[in-house]
Amino acid sequence: MTGMVLITGAAQRVGLHCALGLQQAGYQVIATYRQPKAGVEQLRQAGVVCLALDITPHSDLALQVADLAAAVGDLCQQQQLPLRAVIHNASSWAGEVQTSGDLLAQLSADAAVFDDMFRIHTKLPYLLSRALAPLLTTEQPQAADIIAISDFAVNTGSCNHMAYAASKAALENLVLSLARQLAPQVKVNAIAPALLMFNEGDSAEYRAFTLKKSLMEIEPGPAEVLQSILYLLQSRYITGRVLALDGGRHLKLP
């Protein structure tokens, strides 16, 4: 093993693929999950350490992060491995909901979505990066890494996912601040995908329409994110940057 890598939100889809790929690449992966889905058992069978992380609105997030940081520290000590990287992958694709009630009901619903998006995409990475900074900045053969998974929507906004897009924009700004604060011991970057994977229930019409949004017109799959993570881990010089994985979609905007 070449070091510990913590990845949040790894029970399914992109997070699951990246956790398994990093474990296979020789890292000891620690993966967090919100619910015990089938992917968690798959991770455990592959040798990944799986830890529950409660990031629901009623949880004490500071306490959850403190406990997680302590567990990561213990694992690093037990296995005598440095914390090589933290990957902020946990996410929620929640959009604004139109209520049939009065203005207060609508604003209350909007506030709940806003708080949820910023808690998951900005507050959690902020607190976790702060908590794990002492482990990341310890002496090791090369600089450690923090990698945040952002979104193409940061560049365009979103009519139906405004809070989501805003929270990812805040995440990218956090990357800049952390890169400045933690250099040269830690490189901090973001990866911003557009379409990666369709959902099982997506219609043929929706798939065809969405594929046409990029120049490459393909569903690239989660391997694109894994390869980008490995690229950033191997680099000694890239920090404070956002790596776009959008198939040239920015060139097809109106």
Of the residues 164, 206, 231, 237, only one is catalytic, namely 164
What per-residue confidence (pLDDT) applies to 132?
A: 98
- 90 neighbors 65 (Cβ within 8 angstroms): no
164 carries an active-site annotation: yes
Helix (H, G, I), strand (E, B) or coil at 190: strand
What per-residue confidence (pLDDT) applies to 213?
A: 87
Q: If we measure between CA atoms, which residue out of 166, 127, 170, 175 comes closest to residue 148?
A: 175
pLDDT, mean of residues 197-223:
89
What per-residue confidence (pLDDT) applies to 252?
A: 83
Tokens of 207: 């798939």
Q: How far apart are CA 246 and CA 254, in angstroms?
A: 16
What per-residue confidence (pLDDT) applies to 254?
A: 62
Would you place residue 42 in the very low, low, confident or very high pLDDT band (cuts 50, 70, 90)?
very high
Would you place residue 228 in the very low, low, confident or very high pLDDT band (cuts 50, 70, 90)?
very high
- 10 neighbors 39 (Cβ within 8 angstroms): yes
CATH number at residue 101: 3.40.50.720
DSSP assignment of 74-101:
HHHHHHT--EEEEEE-----------SS
What per-residue confidence (pLDDT) applies to 180?
A: 98
Residue 184: cis peptide before it, omega within 30 degrees of 0: yes
pLDDT in tens, 164-177: 999 999 999 999 99
Count of structural domains within the chain: 1
Domain that holds residue 21: 4-251
